Amino acid sequence: MKNIRVILISGLSGSGKTTAIKALEDIGFYCVDNLPILLLPKFIELFEQSEGKISKVAVVEDIRGEASYPLSRQNANHAGSGVEEGEKDFLEDSRRIIQDLKREGYPIEILFLESSDTILMRRFSETRRQHPLAVGGSIREGLRLERKRLQGIRDMANEVIDTSQLNVHQLKEKIQQYAQEGRSSNQMTVALLSFGYSFGIPFEADLLMDVRFLPNPYFVEELKQLKGDHPKVSEYVLQWEETKEFLRHVQKFIRFLLPLYERERKTHLTIAVGCTGGRHRSIVIVNRLAEMLRDELTKRGVFLSVQHRDAEKG
């Protein structure tokens, strides 16, 4: 493993990348904003020659790099033929360059920042900024295009941070906590998250499980006002054969995925389980999955986190 830590920050416009890079700069990272991905290997090589004087580097890579990417390709003697081809080349080269650096022993970490469209549109309105991909002045359309074009980088991320409910100070604290906890190690965190579809899909989810097919305790009068962590609700949801079969399949699926994620040095996996309101079925399933997986994950050195996002809503 090389003796230099590299954190690559990416994400949606308005999601807080400037705050993130400043937060890392405050704790000793050498930071560069909007470095073309083609220059990343040379950039890291130069810092490795500093004889240990610079050991922590953070780089912002976002849609601005993609927007100028066909020109970058030409400058690198790989001419592009248009925006769509440039987008494809950008994602393919990003993946190739990052994987090559990891194979060479560089501990590349990717932090991806995002927020809900409603929050991002409000931020753009408040700052009177124009979204870089806004079509005909439509911020919503710009966000849609941006999500699509950055999906490849999001898929490679070690951690996805939803900044919708974070202020500047909270985001700074979260970024610095991430950096100082030494997430560059190989230890992985699996987060089991229950939620209600009525309140929106969690942006941080890597895997999404819909359990609305299970019998709903909400329609049982004595269970309606109880939450999923109540023994009576748990007993009701877990009694069905389809519940037991679903849990067996999910457990097997997670066992299959974990070593593959670990091989790619992904340090955070969020598995979101949703029902209608997030108060009954999803909580029961998340709690039961945690029971089924806890010992096995502990033996693998994987940290397990359980969260119930919408338990107090409704």
User: Which candidate, 257, 109, 130, 231, places its Cα nearest to that of 178?
Assistant: 109
Measure the CA–CA gap between 125 and 130, rounded to whole angstroms.
9
Measure the CA–CA gap between 65 and 81, rounded to whole angstroms.
17
CB contact at 8 A, 150 and 203: no
Those residues with Cβ within 8 angstroms of residue 207's Cβ, 6 or more apart along the chain or in another chain: 257, 269, 270, 271, 272
Neighbouring C-alpha atoms within 13 Å toward the C-beta of 56: 13
Question: pLDDT tens digits, residue range 33-56?
Answer: 888 878 888 888 887 776 666 778
Tokens at 271, concatenated: 């598995």
Those residues with Cβ within 8 angstroms of residue 139's Cβ, 6 or more apart along the chain or in another chain: 120, 121, 124, 125, 131
pLDDT above 50: residue 73? no
Question: pLDDT tens digits, residue range 272-307?
Answer: 999 999 999 999 999 999 999 988 888 888 888 888
Question: pLDDT tens digits, residue range 244-280?
Answer: 999 999 999 999 998 888 877 677 788 999 999 999 9
Under the banding of pLDDT at 50, 70 and 90, the label for residue 125 is confident
* Percent of the chain whose pLDDT exceeds 90: 35
b/e map of 196-208 (b: 16 or more CB within 10 Å)? beeeeebbbbbee
Q: In which residue are the tokens 């439509």 written?
A: 138
| pTM for this entry | 0.56
pLDDT above 50: residue 70? no
**Amino acid 177: pLDDT:** 84
- Residues in a beta bridge with 135: 138
**Amino acid 224: pLDDT:** 93
* Percent of the chain whose pLDDT exceeds 70: 84
User: Which candidate, 209, 306, 308, 187, places its Cα nearest to that of 258?
Assistant: 187
Question: pLDDT tens digits, residue range 77-121?
Answer: 433 334 455 455 666 777 788 888 888 888 788 999 998 888 888
Question: pLDDT tens digits, residue range 150-201?
Answer: 888 888 888 889 998 888 988 998 898 888 765 444 567 888 999 999 999 9
pLDDT above 80: residue 135? no
pLDDT above 90: residue 312? no
Question: Rounded to an integer, what is the distance from CA 187 to the centroid of its chain?
Answer: 16
Tokens at 57, concatenated: 């580097």
Could you give all domains of the chain from N- to C-terminal order, each with its CATH number? Answer: 5-180 (3.40.50.300), 189-308 (no CATH)
Under the banding of pLDDT at 50, 70 and 90, the label for residue 146 is confident
Single-letter amino acid, residue 223 = L
**Amino acid 112: pLDDT:** 92
**Amino acid 65: pLDDT:** 57
